[in-house]
Structures are given as structure tokens and as C-alpha cells.
């Protein structure tokens, strides 16, 4: 900023901008705290989903070891018909929320398949549902982490750049205006003295 721009107009403009920054920063901090709290919850939910999935896989492996028999095809019996995911808006951040996983009803001849196929289909549906829930929870956490990073950068921008810079500019302008005012007073005094001196000289010349 050049000295020519250190004037009252710029001071007024910078003061307004500083007030805006200081007014906006608390709301940004509140938003960051909300995102952090939700991110911690999302991380716990993801861990819970992972634990449930691992527990169900272990249970299936223990109770249905016959699933290792590749001669019995089960992949066509578990078909996802729809995954209902809604969107939650948290302080401008769009977060996925799993509502439901629906499976298509696949007809199959029960008499020509082993007796454990029904239990296997139920178990596989549980595993697929838990995997989808895990993926959605993972995506939700990732969105929150990205949102937190963006907000943190904005908070830092206001706290460490915009507000300090505005304060420093305002300080410099006020100093410049004070200097200019003192210089004007000095010039006025000098001018007054010169005027008085000329008047005195004129009176002496007239005597």
C-alpha cells in the first residue's frame, strides 16, 4: 500500500472489512466444531460397522463351512435390488445416510439344493448389507474429513492472514493520518509565524 492510499476512505473500508472478518470467524469456528464432532461420531460408527462385518463373517465361516463348496452356486441367489441412500446437509456438507438395502426375490428349486442354502442366502444378505453400510460409513467419514480440512484452512486464513493483515493496515493508516495531522499543525504554525514576521516587517518599514 502506497502512502497516497493511506487516507480516511481506505481506513473506513478496511475497518468495515475487519469487522466482517471478526463477525464471520465465530460462525466458521462453530461450523468447524460441528464437523469435528460429527467426524468423531462417524469414525466410531465406521469402527462399529467394521466390527459387525468381521463378526458376521466369522460367524458365517463357523456355522456354514459348506460355503467353501464351489459346486453349489450361490452368487445368483443374492441380488441387490436397490440401495437407498439419502443426503444429510450438515453446515453445507452433504453426507450420505444409508436408509435401506433391498434384495430381489430370486426363486430357486429348494428340493434340488442342499438344505443349508436358505441359511446361506440369509447369511450372505447380512454380509452384503453390512459391507454396503461399511462403504457408506467410510464415504461419510471421508466427506467429513475433507470438509474439516477445508474449514480449517478458512479459519487459518481469517485468523493468521486476513484479520492480522487488516489490523496492521489500519494501524499504518492511523499512524500516517496522525503524522499528516501533526505535519499540518506544524505547517500552520510556521505559516502563522511567517505571516506575523512579514506583518512586523511591514510595520517597521512604515515607521
DSSP one-letter string for 86-136: EEEEETTEEEEEEEEEEE------GGGS-TTHHHHHHHHHHHHHHHHHHHH
- pLDDT confidence of residue 107: 75
- pLDDT confidence of residue 2: 46
> pTM to 2 decimals?
0.74
- pLDDT confidence of residue 58: 93
The verdict on residue 21 lying in a domain is no
The verdict on residue 170 lying in a domain is no
- pLDDT confidence of residue 46: 97
The verdict on residue 202 lying in a domain is no
Torsions phi, psi of 82, nearest 5? -160, 145
Quick check: 91 and 31 in contact, CB under 8 A?
Answer: yes
Can you list the residues of the chain whose pLDDT is less than 50?
Answer: 1-4
Q: In whole numbers, what is the pLDDT of the chain averaged over residues?
A: 86
- pLDDT confidence of residue 69: 65
- The count of domains in the chain is 1
Domain ranges, residue 87: 27-151
The verdict on residue 7 lying in a domain is no
Amino acid at each position: 500500500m502506497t502512502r497516497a492510499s493511506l487516507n480516511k476512505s481506505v481506513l473506513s473500508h478496511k475497518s468495515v472489512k475487519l469487522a466482517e472478518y471478526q463477525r464471520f470467524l465465530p460462525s466458521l469456528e462453530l461450523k468447524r466444531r460441528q464437523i469435528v464432532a460429527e467426524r468423531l461420531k462417524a469414525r466410531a460408527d465406521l469402527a462399529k460397522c467394521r466390527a459387525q462385518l468381521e463378526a458376521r463373517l466369522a460367524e458365517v465361516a463357523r456355522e456354514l463351512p459348506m460355503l467353501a463348496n464351489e459346486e453349489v452356486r450361490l452368487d445368483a441367489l443374492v441380488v441387490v435390488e436397490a440401495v437407498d441412500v439419502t443426503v444429510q446437509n450438515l453446515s453445507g456438507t452433504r453426507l450420505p445416510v444409508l436408509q435401506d438395502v433391498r434384495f430381489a426375490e430370486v426363486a430357486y428349486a429348494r428340493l434340488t439344493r442342499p438344505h443349508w442354502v436358505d441359511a446361506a442366502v440369509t447369511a450372505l444378505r447380512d454380509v452384503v448389507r453390512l459391507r454396503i453400510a461399511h462403504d457408506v460409513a467410510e464415504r461419510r467419514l471421508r466427506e467429513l474429513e475433507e470438509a474439516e480440512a477445508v474449514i480449517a484452512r478458512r479459519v487459518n486464513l481469517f485468523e493468521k492472514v486476513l484479520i492480522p493483515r487488516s489490523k496492521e493496515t489500519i494501524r499504518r493508516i492511523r499512524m500516517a493520518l496522525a503524522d499528516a495531522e501533526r505535519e499540518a499543525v506544524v505547517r500552520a504554525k510556521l505559516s502563522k509565524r511567517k505571516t506575523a514576521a512579514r506583518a512586523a516587517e511591514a510595520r517597521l518599514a512604515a515607521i
